[in-house]
Amino acid sequence: MSAQRAQLSRRGFLGGSLLFVAGAAIGCSTNPTGGSSSGAKTTLNVWSHAYGEAGTQQALNRYAAAFTKANPDIAVKVTWVPGDYTAKLNASLLTDAAPDVFEHGDFTQGLARRGQVAALDEQYGSTKADFTQSNLDRVTVDGKLYGVKMIDDVMMLYYRKSVLAKAGIAPPQTFDALVAAAKALTTKKSKGLFVGNDGIGDTHILQVFSNGGQLVADGKVGFATPQAVEAVTALKRLHDDKSLLLGFTTDWWDPAAFVQGVAPMQWCGLWAMPAIEKALGDDFGILPWPAFKAGGTPVMRVGGWTSCVNAKGKNVDAAKKFVQWLWIEQTEHQKDWSESYGFHVPPRKSAAASADKLTKGAARETVVLAAKYGAQNPNTWDSASGTPFAAAAAKIVAGQGDPARLLADAAGKAQSAVDKQLT
Amino acid sequence: MNATSHTVPRSERAGRPADTPRAPARPRRRADLRTWAVFALLTAPMLIGLGVFKYIAIGWSLLLSLSDAQGTIALGDWVGLDNYRQLFGDAVFRTSLVQILLFTLFIVPVTFAASLGLALLVHRIRRGRAVLRTAFLVPAAVSYVAAALVWKMSLFSGMPAGIANMIGGWFGMEFVPWLQTDTPPLYLIALVTLRLWLQVGFYMVLFLAGLQAIPKEVYEAAALDGATGLRLLRRITLPMLRNTSVAVLMLLFIAAFQAFDEFYNLFGSGLSGTGTAPVKTPMMYLYDTAMSAQNYGLGSAGAFVLTALIVGATLIQGRITGLGKSEE
């Protein structure tokens, strides 16, 4: 086949190369994503992590288009980021291609102290009073507000009513009861409880809260107190009983294991409730993570995403305008975002009160319980504190080493990370 | 050996293309200049690219490792060797170094032996060699990430329907979470098989190329002298494969020290942080430090420690195996 192939002449090669380079240059200079830059002066780059629920990406694009309609000189390009969002965001923030507006799942004081995010007090204005206090506290650093909470994500324990009733088990109200229930519901073919593929998930954090502790209180890391050690060590019982589902296809934040009946109890989030309702009808109930023992408190976790303005971006003013427009002013969009796809709780009280789907059934129950038992991570808590704690918990449940010692070591590392946040 | 003895004189000639006896002195110097100009022109893109994208970045990273760089890669906040002190004070990092050493000491000989063995087998068969060669090479084209997901979700899933559990079920085993079982460390089975599956084919091809370069006459001569089987392998094949072996060994060492993808994907949850992973390689530690916690100073320091380790291992290996030396 190669007998006929002509040798590439030098001139031909040069010509070909030039054509290729020219083509590449043209290809690069035209923006492949296009955007809606119909005469807009600035284009805002907005980053969002890839939400799992169908329709979310389209919704965000719709809000962006509506914003451009209201502000014809500002176009908005939404970048939908799958995978490890935080790592990609952190890397991007170091470059010129950094987003102007981004959401953050773990807002920390360090972001503000290092000058990565801009203060938004002016944008809040008088609407500030309509936000729940915990969500204002979360983004407050040295008296200024550095972000707008977009949604509250409530996390709780789901259980299959029919499965528990058939086994004659009441929804567990204490940790002992949870351990017993998980064990009783474990069969040859299925496990009783799913908290995460690594068998830890959020449980180590929940145990600290449920035994009356805090992750960080007054700048001091609190997961190595005797109460915390006792509670985290107790997680080993779930592992020793082999009643935890491990190594499932999707992780705890996806309801697949619960919906498919692989585990009759799962720690998951309010966002998954529409999917669970669709699959199981009303054959499910929700619970807070039970109190560790008398004197402890049940826990629901409240996470969520915060919209931030990149203080080092090129379009800070336009970015502030976008955040103000969408996440402070547009309660209709906020409601749509909170209840039309996965369920979330809108941080604005007025929006939460009028979100119809959250005011009935299990969703309503969740909102009420979250108001009572909801615990947010402190804004001094980032992965530098979380990673050592999770590593220590993993060792403890595997029975490797002395729990008090492991937690004290991890707390030492977390403390230096917290101290760094505060300076 | 064969190749080197040919290339040496040829390259000498190529270095002086205008070196003809009749050429007068002046044009010769001009020709030399021209050669240099061509050399510079052809290598410049590569050298500039290396300089800008590698060496400047490496130098910058060295400076970063000496400064407190949290959430920024700007220099200026010098802290001396604090980052290195913190790094070696951290038991997690020290453990990760020990774990990667153990992993390397295990995976390198196993991969080496498996690819060499496979190459010898494939080399011997007469029919279907191309098909087999391709079949073994195909996994090398699969990315670590994709393979890790197949291993995690299908082969070694913790569900009764996972393939490993299904096979275990035929023999009456209960289903186990392979990747989460620490005692005994079943996750090692997944880690090792994954790496072997991905790497063996590629190194097998390198060995095959080496085998094919061994002249037939040597074997014929040996056969005349009555050498057979193992003796041929030990006295002829292995010594003649020396250069290939040394290169393969070096590549294997570096790949093992840099292990990250499959560990991260097998043990990660898709969220940031890999705190609960049963084994944490230095690269994972660096990823958590730099990419999640944004501590670029500490991350750079760790990168330099890891680099030093790799360079050290390569130098020692080079000294022992005589890397880059021709043996005659």
What local confidence, expressed as pLDDT, does residue A31 receive?
A: 46
Question: CA distances (Å), B203 to each of A65, A320, B117, B120, B148, in order?
Answer: 53, 55, 11, 12, 20
Helix (H) or strand (E) holding A84: none
Q: Do A94 and B73 touch (CB under 8 A)?
A: yes
Q: Choose between A305 and A9: higher pLDDT.
A: A305
Q: Residue A45's CB: how many other CB atoms inside 10 A?
A: 21
What local confidence, expressed as pLDDT, does residue B277 receive?
A: 87
pLDDT band per the 50, 70, 90 thresholds, residue A188 = confident
What local confidence, expressed as pLDDT, does residue B175 receive?
A: 86
What local confidence, expressed as pLDDT, does residue A26 receive?
A: 55
Asked if A91 reaches chain B (Cβ–Cβ under 8 Å), the answer is yes
β A74-81/A101-104 pair status: unpaired
- The Cβ-side half-sphere exposure at B271, using a 13 Å CA radius, reads 22
- Alpha-carbon distance of A98 to A93, in angstroms, equals 5
Select from A199, A390, A399 the Cβ nearest to the Cβ of B180.
A199
Shortest distance between the Cα of B159 and any Cα of chain A, in A, equals 6
β A193-194/A148-159 pair status: unpaired
Find the mean pLDDT for residues B311-324: 83
For tokens 């983004």, the residue is A139
* DSSP string of B25-69, one letter each residue: HHHHHHHHHHHHHHHHHHHHHHHHHHIIIIIHHHHHHHHHHTB--
Find the mean pLDDT for residues A262-285: 95
Shortest distance between the Cα of B276 and any Cα of chain A, in A, equals 5
- The Cβ-side half-sphere exposure at B157, using a 13 Å CA radius, reads 15
What does the domain layout of chain A look like in residue ranges? Answer: 3-153+304-375, 155-301+378-421
pLDDT band per the 50, 70, 90 thresholds, residue B16 = very low
Q: Structure tokens of A345?
A: 């709780």
- Alpha-carbon distance of B237 to B218, in angstroms, equals 10
What does the domain layout of chain B look like in residue ranges? Answer: 38-67+76-80, 91-321
- Asked if A181 contacts A172 with a C-beta cutoff of 8 angstroms, the reply is yes
Enumerate the residues of chain B whose CB falls inside 8 A of the CB of residue A391: 92, 275-276, 280
pLDDT band per the 50, 70, 90 thresholds, residue B21 = low
Enumerate the residues of chain B whose CB falls inside 8 A of the CB of residue A387: 273-275, 288, 292-293
- Asked if A345 contacts A152 with a C-beta cutoff of 8 angstroms, the reply is yes
- Asked if A382 contacts A106 with a C-beta cutoff of 8 angstroms, the reply is yes
- Bridge partners of A145? A140
User: Does pLDDT of A313 surpass 60?
Assistant: yes
Cα-Cα-Cα-Cα dihedral sign, residues B269, B271, B277, B283: positive
Enumerate the residues of chain A whose CB falls inside 8 A of the CB of residue B93: none
- Alpha-carbon distance of A121 to A118, in angstroms, equals 10
Q: Do B272 and A87 touch (CB under 8 A)?
A: yes
- Asked if A176 contacts A190 with a C-beta cutoff of 8 angstroms, the reply is no
- Bridge partners of A42? A74
Find the mean pLDDT for residues B173-177: 87
Q: Please tell me if the domain spanning A3-153+304-375 has the same topology as the one spanning A155-301+378-421.
A: yes
Select from A189, A387, A389 the Cβ nearest to the Cβ of B160.
A189
- Alpha-carbon distance of A222 to A204, in angstroms, equals 12
Shortest distance between the Cα of B295 and any Cα of chain A, in A, equals 9
CB proximity list for A123: less than 8 A, separation 6 or greater: A148, A320, A321, A323, A324, A328
Q: Do A398 and B183 touch (CB under 8 A)?
A: yes
Q: Do A248 and B157 touch (CB under 8 A)?
A: yes
Q: Do B267 and A198 touch (CB under 8 A)?
A: yes
3-class DSSP state of A76: strand
- Asked if A173 contacts A299 with a C-beta cutoff of 8 angstroms, the reply is no
User: Does pLDDT of A210 surpass 80?
Assistant: yes
A74-109: pLDDT as tens digits: 999 999 998 889 889 998 998 888 999 999 998 999
Closest CA to B291 of A319, A265, A29, A93: A93
CATH architecture of the domain formed by A3-153+304-375: 3-Layer(aba) Sandwich (3.40)
Select from A93, A188, A383 the Cβ nearest to the Cβ of B293.
A383
Cα-Cα-Cα-Cα dihedral sign, residues A6, A7, A9, A12: positive
User: Closest-CA residue in chain A for B174?
Assistant: A188
- Alpha-carbon distance of A228 to A320, in angstroms, equals 41
For tokens 């109930």, the residue is A285
Task: Mean pLDDT check: name the lowest of A22-31, B96-105, B127-136.
Answer: A22-31
- Asked if A273 contacts A363 with a C-beta cutoff of 8 angstroms, the reply is yes
Q: Do B180 and A249 touch (CB under 8 A)?
A: no
Compute the mean pLDDT over every residue in chain A, rounded to the nearest whole number. Answer: 89
Q: Do A110 and B71 touch (CB under 8 A)?
A: yes
Please give the biggest Cα pair distance in chain A: 88
- Alpha-carbon distance of A211 to A228, in angstroms, equals 7
Single-letter residue type at B309: L
The answer to whether the bond into A82 is cis (omega within 30° of 0) is no
- The Cβ-side half-sphere exposure at B210, using a 13 Å CA radius, reads 24
Report the CATH fold assignment for B91-321: MetI-like fold (1.10.3720)
Select from B91, B162, B291 the Cβ nearest to the Cβ of A87.
B291
User: Does pLDDT of A194 surpass 60?
Assistant: yes
Which residue stretches of A140-220 are H helix? 161-166, 175-184, 203-210
β A148-159/A285-287 pair status: antiparallel
Closest CA to B160 of B148, B152, B168: B168
Task: Mean pLDDT check: name the lowest of A194-208, B5-19, B76-90.
Answer: B5-19
Q: Do A388 and B275 touch (CB under 8 A)?
A: yes
- Alpha-carbon distance of B138 to B147, in angstroms, equals 12
CATH class for the region spanning A155-301+378-421: alpha beta
What local confidence, expressed as pLDDT, does residue A3 receive?
A: 42
Shortest distance between the Cα of B166 and any Cα of chain A, in A, equals 12
Alpha-carbon Rg for chain B in angstroms: 25
Task: Mean pLDDT check: name the lowest of B13-17, B20-24, B232-236, B290-294.
Answer: B13-17
Which residue stretches of A30-108 are H helix? 56-70, 85-92
Q: What's A106's DSSP letter?
A: S
For tokens 């619960």, the residue is A258
Find the mean pLDDT for residues A18-33: 56
User: Does pLDDT of A6 surpass 80?
Assistant: no
A250-265: pLDDT as tens digits: 889 999 999 999 999 9
Select from A94, A247, A253 the Cβ nearest to the Cβ of B179.
A247
Single-letter residue type at B317: Q
Enumerate the residues of chain B whose CB falls inside 8 A of the CB of residue A111: 71
Enumerate the residues of chain B whose CB falls inside 8 A of the CB of residue A384: 289, 292-293, 295
Q: Do A116 and B71 touch (CB under 8 A)?
A: yes
- Alpha-carbon distance of A275 to A338, in angstroms, equals 14
Environment class of B107 (CB within 10 Å of its CB; exposed 0-12, middle 13-18, buried 19+): buried
What length is written for chain B? 328
> Within its chain, how far is the Cα of A171 from the centroid?
27
Q: 164-223 in A: which are within 8 Å (CB) of B?
A: 188-189, 196-200
What local confidence, expressed as pLDDT, does residue A83 receive?
A: 83
Alpha-carbon Rg for chain A in angstroms: 25
Q: Structure tokens of B158?
A: 């913790």
User: Does pLDDT of B5 surpass 80?
Assistant: no
- Bridge partners of B78? B67
Taking each helix axis from N to C end, the angle separating B91-124 and B187-212, rounded to the nearest 10 degrees, works out to: 40
Asked if A247 reaches chain B (Cβ–Cβ under 8 Å), the answer is yes
User: Does pLDDT of A126 surpass 60?
Assistant: yes
Closest CA to A50 of A3, A89, A23, A22: A89
